Structure 1
Amino acid sequence: MSKPYQTIPIEDCQEPLIPIPTTEFSFCSPHPYAQLGAPYGDTSPFCLREGVLQRLQTAQNYLQQKHPHWRIQIFDAYRPIAVQQFMVDHTFTETAKANGLHPDSMTPSQRQEIQAQVEKFWAPPSHNPATPPPHSTGAAVDITLANESDEPLNLGSPIDEISPRSAPDYFAASTSPPESHYHQLRFLLREVMLAAEFQQHPAEWWHFSFGDQLWAWLTNQKSPANSTVARYGRVEKSL
């Protein structure tokens, strides 16, 4: 299934893919997809395009103006296409099982329904240079907040959950104190990231990007007079 943002032209600025400094941010460790067996080879998942990293550093500065001892925790960043394929396949299998289905004995309609659930959250592992998955451009990052003890805060649902709870504003109208707190933390995360020029995935509270097709499409959606194009296309590089 194609995504609406995949029609956005890409004019790659050729910025390098560089490691995220381990001394500056908090990291989810061990890396969740590598632990599952995703085929990274010698490529690090903890890297971004240079301009994206600079803006992530800006976002962390904004965060620490509000909470001096908190940090942005990196869950995932760069993904080679092979990793995207592995994770889409893994998520399809796990989502089928969660719905009481076996991937090898599903009807076409059941398979279509599970695929639709997966594709709401996971971009197709396209090898077409005109339609790269956001994470394969080095422009997208999955993050949460970590406190002064370097522990991830509870923002109301796990990263990658295939659920309505993953929507950024899911808890916005809740009067429950814990759920109101989740919303406050999600709002804070979005506030500092948007202040650093990122855009947020409409269905995922944890996913932000700068310079990819999704970022450009969201930028144009907010200001229809714009004709912003993507700055980053697919990148394949071992670090």
Structure 2
Amino acid sequence: MSDETHSDSAANATDQQDPLLSLSNISPRIDVYPYYYRMNLPGSENDCFLRKGTVEKLIKAAEKLPNGLKLVILDGWRSYETQLALYQAIKADLEAKNLTPEKIQEEISKYVAIPTRDLTKPSPHLTGGAVDLTIADEKSWLDMGTDFDDFTEKAELEWYEKKHQLTQQEETIRDNRRLLRKVMEEAGFISNSEEWWHYDYGNRRWANATGNSILYFGISK
């Protein structure tokens, strides 16, 4: 058996033993705000789900936050129907800007994966290893500079790191993003350069970035 075949077999074994878990009530330091359910997108549910191994990493990340702060989960595992609805909505928005087909494809690839039912070549969220989240204090969500699913340059992870002469508010935004990145990366996740809210563990994107074998392929509910 080749090393590659052995690696794939090990990954598939892990994949089969790591089910999706509900994120509701898994930790006093994690809240769930199912964003797409609240937007009434097809295929969404009034909960968020991740692989068991990813949940364990998420709990560790939450425990690294300073007292009085929590993680707020906006999205985890995502159905094909929800992925398709998002893809179509973003594509329509870009088409309305009269961009060329090439530019539309370039822009859309930054923010949303092509919908697929192929569990061997899944979009990141179909694996249950991708999570969208933010941080909240006792009163509200922390200021991260943009809303969730803001598809502008300001949503880039290091937008405020690259900007010179920050205002006091911008310094706060930068520090909030730094905190989210710090606790997530220390727990084993990788960040996304285009979206401050998106982190991966165990899927192909994570494997490519870390040099590890893929742990999670697509999974159906």
Same fold (TM over 0.5): yes
Q: Give the C-alpha shift of residue 157 in structure 1.
A: 1.2
CA shift, 1:45, in A, is: 4.8
**Whole-angstrom distance in 1 between the partners of 2:195 and 2:208:** 16
Partner of 2:68: 69
CA deviation map 1:109-134 (0-9, x unaligned):
72332232111111111223332011
Question: RCO higher in 1 or 2 (8 Å CA, sep ≥ 6)?
Answer: 1
Q: What TM-score do the two structures reach when normalised by structure 1?
A: 0.80
Change (3 A) 1:9 1:115: farther
Instruction: Please give the root-mean-square deviation of Cα atoms over the aligned residues, in Å.
Output: 2.0
What are the superposed Cα offsets for residues 42-101 of structure 1, whole Å, 9 maximum, x if unpaired?
Answer: x555011001001100000001xxx2011001111110112111111011112333x2x4
Letter in 2 for 1:143: L
Q: 1:219 aligns with which of 210, 215, 221?
A: 210
Asked if the contact 1:73/1:143 (under 8 Å) is kept, the reply is yes
Q: Could you tell me whether the CA contact under 8 Å between 1:146 and 1:153 is conserved in 2?
A: yes
Question: Would you say the 8 A contact 1:117–1:162 is kept in 2?
Answer: no
* SS of aligned partner of 2:43: coil
Q: Quote how far apart the aligned CAs of 1:202 are.
A: 2.1
Please, which of 26, 36, 39 is the counterpart of residue 36 of structure 1?
Answer: 39
Aligned length: 207
Partner of 1:145: 135
Checking the alignment, whether the CA contact within 8 Å between 1:38 and 1:83 is kept in structure 2 is yes
- Report if the CA contact (8 A) 1:141-1:207 is conserved: yes
Q: SS state of the match for residue 195, structure 2?
A: coil
Q: 2:120 and 2:47 mapped to 1: Cα distance?
A: 22
CA contact 1:48–1:139 (8 Å) conserved in 2: yes
Alignment match, 1:5: none
Are 1:205 and 2:191 an aligned pair?
Answer: no
Unpaired segments ≥5 residues, structure 1: 1-7, 102-108, 221-227
% identical equivalent positions: 26
1:9 Cα offset (Å): 6.1
Task: Answer yes or no: is the 8 Å Cα contact 1:172–1:180 preserved in 2.
Answer: no
Q: Secondary structure at the match of 1:205?
A: strand
What residue in structure 2 maps to residue 111 of structure 1?
A: 101
Unaligned stretches of 5+ residues in structure 2: 1-6
Show the counterpart of 1:56: 58
